[in-house]
Amino acid sequence: MLQVQGKEPVWSDSQAQRKQQVQRVTELYEAAVAAYGSDPGLWRDYALFELRELHKGGGAVYRRAVAALEVPGAFAAEYRAALGL
- Residue 4 belongs to a domain: no
pTM (predicted TM-score): 0.78
- Residue 70 belongs to a domain: yes
Name the burial class of residue 47, with classes exposed (0-12), middle (13-18) and buried (19+) by CB atoms within 10 angstroms of its CB. Answer: buried
Rounded (10°) CA dihedral 39, 78, 65, 28: -60
- Residue 2 belongs to a domain: no
How far apart, in whole angstroms, are the C-alpha atoms of residue 50 and residue 83? 13
Counting the structural domains of the chain, the total is 1
- Residue 48 belongs to a domain: yes
Summarised one tens digit per residue, pLDDT across range 1-32 is 444 455 555 556 788 888 889 899 999 999 99
Summarised one tens digit per residue, pLDDT across range 21-74 is 989 999 999 999 999 999 999 999 999 999 888 776 658 999 999 999 999 999
* Domain hosting residue 72, numbered range: 23-82
What was the pLDDT predicted at 24?
93
- Residue 12 belongs to a domain: no
* Cβ neighbours, 10 Å, residue 35: 10
